[in-house]
Structure 1
Amino acid sequence: MTDSSLDLFAPVQLGPIRLRNRVIKAATSEGRSPDGLVTDEPIDFHRRFAAGGVGMTTVAYCCVSREAASAPGQIVMDTRALPGLRRLADAVHEAGAAISAQLGHAGVVAPKKLTGVTPVAPSRFVNPTSLAFCREIRRDEIRAVVDQFGAAAQVAVDAGFDAVELHFGHLYLPSSFLSPLINRRRDEYGGSIDNRSRFVREIARRVREVVGDRIAVIAKLNMDDGLPGSIWIDEALRTAQLLDTDATLDAIELTQGSSVFKPMYLFRGDVPVREFAQSMPPAMRPGVRLFGRAMMGSYPYEDLYMLPAARQFVPVMRNTKLVLLGGITNREHLETAMREGFHLMAMGRALLREPDLVNRMAADAGVRSRCNHNNKCMVTVFGRTHCVLDPDQRYGAAEPLPNSAESAAQA
């Protein structure tokens, strides 16, 4: 049953910007930007969500440097990308939505084959999925990464974006500093959770210094990552409290899981082992088929599956709005999130399946998402992220049949 007193689709303030409604298209790595530059493909991709009714769409993944990439086809936030980013922002604005750039450094997830350099981590670390060695990042490099986030945020401002999202989740470099499993440093960036939170606070502070009140600043923060001895809710609450006290962020989007091990903890639902095996080099496919489920993890899908953890953060926030993510597929879920104290809601897979879902939910409270959580979209990040059940995205838009109404009209 829906609650008519909750005006989900009215404009809402997010820091210095005003969104037309509370729904954000969550970041989903896109693979549509060869050479780190925006092409027509990401413009068309995000225009669909804007035209479909979201309040804001999030461009992902935007690397703060070429060494920060996690997969091919990602945007590099430097001045070379500005013309394309401006076209992208203009297209989204013309369709009525705001636009955010997810800024990140992949750290332990950055493949050397792609970046050309050994990946960095808070401490020496071997990625259990790729078996890649990661060297310990130096203190001068930490300062350089903080500045890279600031420079990338300036590019977003110059391109006409409305917000940036700082990727502090999924055990990418900032998130891995929060993890006692990966961060074993003995300097001011290691040890207590206050020390381990220093890096993300410095990034948020630097970005706010750069952008001022021209755009909104959001952080995507892990509540827990599903790995024993790593990030869990108790310390994540402290990190969120420290960021909230700094008052450098306009919102925190709460997330779970890791890109290092057992990634299904983030997604839940079907485990696409066969599809992942097929995407690997032939020599690796038998091993992925045999051990892929154990490496990826298996967790049943439930609606609003991040809510039990996320509601712990509501009473902690004083200055910062919260964004709920995870298993939001219909209007009742949006209303539940509002009643629980969340200001905004982020949707990912459901919008990949149906970019116009928000408009349809606004028009009809009974609309349900067609997403069946098969999670085969996860594998598409190695190419062009899309819903495998959407023929236009998987195969390209079909040509009209010769006897179609459209052909007749053209004739």
Structure 2
Amino acid sequence: MTEVFTPAQLGPVTLRNKVIKAATFEGCTPEALVTDELIAFHREVAAGGVGMTTVAYCAVAPGGRTDRHQIWMRPEAVPGLRKLTDAVHAEGAAASAQIGHAGPVANAASNRLPALAPSRMFSPLGMRPMKVPGESEIRELIAAHANAARLAEKSGFDAVEIHFGHNYLTSSFLSPLLNRRTDRYGGSAENRARLAREIACAVRDAVGDRLAVTAKLNMEDGVRGGLTVPDSLRAASWLQDDGALDALELTAGSSLLNPMLLFHGDAPRREFAKVLPPPARWGFRLAGRSFLKEYPYQEAYLLERARQFRRELSMPLILLGGITNLDTMNRAMAEGFDFVAMGRALLREPNLLRRIQSDATTRSACVHCNECVPTIYTGTRCRYRLNKPVVESSSVQLEVRASE
């Protein structure tokens, strides 16, 4: 039908097509372990036709979660994750585990463990100072990423995606605004990129050529003094030269300071205020408008930035941001991107790709209201998806939870 629906190689893994379900918090793990609901979430997307689905978020340490209900990679998590990957594979898709440490975005109060930052900062989530790791602790964090990758392999994942975006820990080290260190992990762009490079190499060493290894990399933070495209390009070039990654997924924005740069579209301030716990809720009511800025939605809204990376890099790149229709997918392929990643459109319609394959004129029903984003605390869903869908597959008929 079109190039996007032809098989593609991602490192050692062959995907049935070039569409990846992007990592979006599922909110389905109240005990920090896989649930039937989480399996249903990913199985439905896999049955809907994606080449690979990404499980978000698998923290490398208990303190690396944005709240204590998220999965952290440990032996107890492996049996449930294996059930999940088996279910995804039964539908013909591959599975990727997004691994990382939330760093400044971690919720210290929820985790009951200190949040980490490259330099001294106050945590608005934990309402306490963050911990600055020394070099010995940084080595432990690098080892934790490698261990998480090994556990992902035991769990049957085909790939791991390392989180280098959104001012999570590694992304915060890349940021000149957040990283004011004077040791070998701070100062110059090369020093600030050191942690990302060492983590990528450690993960590759852990899984060899048995798994695909990708990274989600910020092109820019979207805040004054933060990571810019030129600095990110330098980091991407070094990551490419190291040869540890099979692809980069390009993103933007800061979960800590400017999250809407990633999403574009409506800013759901009222919905966020309802779900945040105090005292974060009170602070949000005062500063919500400056925190959740509005960026007009358009298809492929990160493409202009991503083109600069495509021109400079030879490694495979994954285009994210406003990929909802076949025309946009074809445009990405024509501009040299190897894969496209979809998020919100698949929350609204997990079977969207099947529909597009049946009718090339199909348009996504997603209205980019972003009201799905605050639901990450209670089970990620599209509020406009009112039906209770039934997934048809060759192996199972699976009924999934209706949106509320």
Question: Is the shorter-chain TM-score for this pair beyond 0.5, marking a shared fold?
Answer: yes
8 Å CA contact 1:222–1:255 kept in 2: the answer is yes
Note closer, same or farther for the CA distance 1:285–1:117 as it changes in structure 2 (3 Å cut).
closer
Aligned pair partner of 1:340 in 311, 335, 339: 335
8 Å CA contact 1:262–1:297 kept in 2: the answer is yes
1:254 counterpart SS class = strand
1:164 counterpart SS class = strand
AA in 2 matched with 1:317: L
| Residue 50 of structure 2 corresponds to residue 54 of structure 1 | yes
8 Å CA contact 1:129–1:260 kept in 2: the answer is no
CA drift of 1:336 comes to 0.5
Q: Could you tell me which runs of 5 or more consecutive residues in structure 1 were left unpaired when the two chains were aligned.
A: 399-411
2:96 counterpart SS class = strand
Who is 1:408 aligned against? none
Q: What pairs with 1:75-224 in structure 2 (closer than 5 Å)?
A: 75-127=71-123, 132-224=128-220
8 Å CA contact 1:221–1:252 kept in 2: the answer is yes
Who is 1:370 aligned against? 365
2:214 counterpart SS class = strand
Who is 2:233 aligned against? 237
AA in 2 matched with 1:362: Q
2:4 counterpart SS class = coil
CA RMSD of aligned residues (A): 1.8
| Residue 384 of structure 2 corresponds to residue 389 of structure 1 | yes
Q: Structure 1 residue runs of 4+, over 4 Å off?
A: 127-132, 282-287, 392-395
Matches of 1:397 and 1:317, distance apart in 2: 43
CA drift of 1:370 comes to 0.4
| Residue 331 of structure 2 corresponds to residue 323 of structure 1 | no
8 Å CA contact 2:158–2:212 kept in 1: the answer is yes
Q: Could you tell me which runs of 5 or more consecutive residues in structure 2 were left unpaired when the two chains were aligned.
A: 390-399
8 Å CA contact 2:35–2:80 kept in 1: the answer is yes
Note closer, same or farther for the CA distance 1:283–1:180 as it changes in structure 2 (3 Å cut).
closer
Please say which of residues 126-135 and 17-26 is displaced more in the overlay. 126-135
Matches of 1:88 and 1:317, distance apart in 2: 34
CA drift of 1:128 comes to 5.8
With normalisation by structure 2, the TM-score equals 0.94
CA drift of 1:273 comes to 0.9
Give aligned-pair identity as a percent. Answer: 52
8 Å CA contact 1:129–1:261 kept in 2: the answer is no
With normalisation by structure 1, the TM-score equals 0.92
AA in 2 matched with 1:153: A
Note closer, same or farther for the CA distance 1:237–1:392 as it changes in structure 2 (3 Å cut).
same
1:76 counterpart SS class = coil
Matches of 1:128 and 1:229, distance apart in 2: 19
Matches of 1:285 and 1:95, distance apart in 2: 41
Matches of 1:197 and 1:262, distance apart in 2: 21
CA drift of 1:282 comes to 6.3
CA drift of 1:132 comes to 4.3
1:36 counterpart SS class = coil
